[in-house]
Each structure stands twice: as C-alpha cells, then as structure tokens.
Structure 1
C-alpha cells in the first residue's frame, strides 16, 4: 500500500493499520480527494493479510466534521439534486468497504464526530470514544436526511425510537451518553484514550483474524434473516472456521494450558 496520500495518514505497526483522516484545519471534513484516498486505503487493506486490525481516527481536535459544506455552498439546487446519487456512491463504497473488511475495525472517536463522519464510524465494528467526544446526526440542521448508512446503523444499534430521535432533533451527545445508549462500546478519559485504543487494537491483531472475519460476516448476514436461516448460516461459517490454522492452534493451546499464538490464518 502506498503512503503518499494528501489528506490521509497511514501507519502500520505490529499488525495494526492506523488510518488517520488528516484535514485538521477543517476538523477533518470530507472533500472529494480525502474520500477517494480513504476508499483506496480500505480496499487495499482488504487484500493485505499482514494487516490484522484497523484503527480509524482523525487528526488534531476531532474525529470528523462530516462533509465539507464549503464545496457545495454555491451549487445550484437542480445540479445538486441531479448529482446527489452520484456523490453518495463514493461514500457508499467506503461504508461497504469498511463493513466487508475481513479484519476487525475500531473507530477511535475524539472531539467532533458529526454527519457522514459519524456514520462512517458506525460502519466500523467497535467504537471507542474519548470523554471529549461530541456526536451528532446533524443532517436535519441543514435540511438533509442521514446518509452513509445512518438510518441502517442507528436503527440496529439503538432501536427505531431512539434512532429517530437522534436523526430528527439532530442534537449533540457526549461520549458518556453515547456509551449509555449503545452508540459506542466504551467512553474513556481523554488522557487514557490513545492507550485504550492501542491495547484493544493489539489484542485484536494477535487474535484469530480469519475467524474474526467470519464472525463479522455471520452477524452482518444474520440481520434480516429468521432463526432457521441463521442456524443454517452458522453451520456454514463454523465449517469454514474449523478448518483454519488458528482454530487448530487454539485447541492445542487449550490442551497444553498455554496462551495461543495465532497467525491470522
């Protein structure tokens, strides 16, 4: 993977790829180039077996302030309407790419996370928030509907009533409240934030990576199926997991009463 991106930083260490959205002067608001760079990185990550865990975060004071609205300030209404689908296709490609990554993905949220930036975080597998995080589905404030999968993720994480509340009122919530309602997995003091994220990422990077990918796929495909269909799916996925090197290593480690040494294969 190349590393000479203009608006995104990539760092690889001990199996963990950290992707940092890097437009700090505008709180990492998305422009077209940053979006395209993010897509390229995520799609390359899916093909790289050396990467065992992904961390997505933002540079400076924020995770991300959503779409850079200055790019659309002078757009004509007719033109905006005709290009809305086209514009969103790139965001949809990024969201689907994150969802389908075979590696576990952590969104590390500090400061502002609003609009499309928040919904990209919701497409990740786990979310750790600092206690200075401020999260908002801000779309209604400018007369737009949530995009980037917002309706899908919010409803599944929170239930329809709370999801609608966040979307309709577009109010900001802090990290502690986001943890309380289940929007993030954990809220931690800002002083401990980086250490908590690193420890979690390294833990996942040393785990059974292929099995993690199968778990993700099983849960995603189970969302809209009945119990009988899910039971069939779990049999299919278990038959694949049982043939992995990491399953064999896990059993041997258990029998030998030692920590497993997973290879991610």
Structure 2
C-alpha cells in the first residue's frame, strides 16, 4: 500500500516529520466544511496513520478563519425536497465512521483550533485527546440554528463541559470564546493566534518522546474507566499494568532512570 506521503489530497494537507503527523483542512473558502471528498480523504489519512508505527502523534488543524464549521450541506435541501434523504444519511454515517476511527487511534491526537469551530467541527474536536485553541477561536454546536440534529457526537458534549453548559450550547446554538471553553474544561490551553502552530508542534514533539505503548494504554484506561466505579477503574488499571510490566518499554524506562539517561522507547 502506498504510504501517506505518496498520496495527494484535494481538501486537506498532510505533513509528517520525525514521529509527528499533521492534517490541515484546506477548504478555507467554505470554512473547512466537511464535504464527502474531505471525509473520504480524512478517512484515508487516519487509516494510514493508524497503520504506521513510526507516526506516534497526530495533530488536526484548519486553514483560514475556521477550524471546521461542520458538514457541507449544499445539495441536502434538494434531496429533502425530492423526498429522498438517503444520500444525506449515508454522508452522515461516513462522518460518524471517520470520527470513530480518530477516537480509536492507538496514539495521541491533538486538535489545534485556529478559528471558528462549530457543529461537526466541534464534534471533530471532541474526537481528539487534547484540545488547544487560538485566542480568537469561537466554539459552539450551532445545529439548532439550522433546524438539524447533531450526527457526529454532539450528544457527548455533556461529558466534556457538563450537562447544563451542554444544554445551553445545544439548545441556543450560541458559540463561546476559546477562553470560556477552557474554563469549562474542554480546551486545555489558549494561546495567541500566531503561536498556535508552534505550541501544538511542541506538544506533539513532547508526546512523541514518551513510550507509545504507555500512551496507548493510558488512552484505553481513560476510555474504559469513564463509567466505572473507583474499584472497577483501579482493577482495570491493574490489568493494564500487569501486561505493561512485561514490555520492553517498561524495562527501558526503569533502566534509563537508573542510568540517568534519556530513554529510547520502541513501543514494544
């Protein structure tokens, strides 16, 4: 199979350097709205990133004024007026599948929100493990402004900002500042607009130096313990730890600490 660096894309840009990969959505004239082609190309990228062990971290960002303003609904009205929404529903299922694939990546993902992040764009940001934002970025659900329901994970918003804030955002269609979303616990860091790219790159490089096996298992532990009791969550941790104690990365981390050197993790 061709490596991702050998493929060309029309709606996004893929860059890989050392162990870090970056996907930039490149439909600025359409506020980086998710077209069928973009969803297909994004799915190709995510699949290849998952399969390439040398890529340890993925960052997703946008170009222009927006990170992503949701699904491109041009043509939907015509289908609905004709009484046929099968194409629209199929498109939404494709979005759901790629969003689930991002969540399932066994490596850290970073959303770097450069601007407007609305509807499906907010749902895309929710798929990532860490979210950082430019100070000028605005975030919101916005589906209610257009008489449509979320279809890519909007119902999960209460998990990230709490039920009452999520209700307000979902019902009102309003968008809030990046700082407000930081205070709500969704955005980890707000930086000056011109610094977003370099700060995101620095975080990706930092994560790439960690044991990929540790970060993969941490992701699995966090996801798996979300609705467990404290006793069940600790039992899950122990199962992961027992498996991890047999790994080369576990031995390398302890050896490097003892020898006062920088560890070199293999992911094994």
1:76 aligned counterpart, secondary structure:
helix
Q: Structure 1 residues 36 and 229 mapped into 2: Cα distance closer, same or farther (>3 Å)?
A: same
2:214 aligned counterpart, secondary structure:
helix
**How far 1:167 moved relative to its partner?**
0.6
Q: Identify which range, 201-210 or 235-244, moves more after superposition.
A: 235-244
Contact 1:249 1:262 in 2 (8 A): yes
Pairing 1:143–2:132 present = no
Pairing 1:227–2:249 present = no
4+ residue runs over 3 A deviation: 82-85
Pairing 1:52–2:43 present = no
Pairing 1:22–2:26 present = yes
**Which residue in the other structure is 2:249 paired with?**
246
Contact 1:20 1:57 in 2 (8 A): yes
Out of 79, 87, 90, the residue aligned to residue 84 of structure 2 is 79
**How far 1:84 moved relative to its partner?**
5.0
Out of 104, 116, 138, the residue aligned to residue 108 of structure 2 is 104
User: Which consecutive unaligned segments of at least 5 residues does structure 2 have?
Assistant: none
Out of 64, 70, 74, the residue aligned to residue 66 of structure 1 is 70
Out of 27, 33, 36, the residue aligned to residue 32 of structure 1 is 36
Contact 2:99 2:127 in 1 (8 A): yes
Count of residue pairs brought into register by the alignment: 263
**How far 1:182 moved relative to its partner?**
1.1
Structure-2 separation of matches of 1:240 and 1:121: 31
**Post-superposition CA distance 1:181-225 (Å, at most 9, x none):** 112111111122111111000001111111101111111111222
**Which residue in the other structure is 2:99 paired with?**
95
User: Which consecutive unaligned segments of at least 5 residues does structure 1 have?
Assistant: none
**How far 1:260 moved relative to its partner?**
2.3
**Which residue in the other structure is 1:157 paired with?**
160
**How far 1:87 moved relative to its partner?**
2.6
Instruction: Name the TM-score, length of structure 1 as normaliser.
Output: 0.94
1:212 aligned counterpart, secondary structure:
helix
**Which residue in the other structure is 1:120 paired with?**
124
**How far 1:243 moved relative to its partner?**
2.3
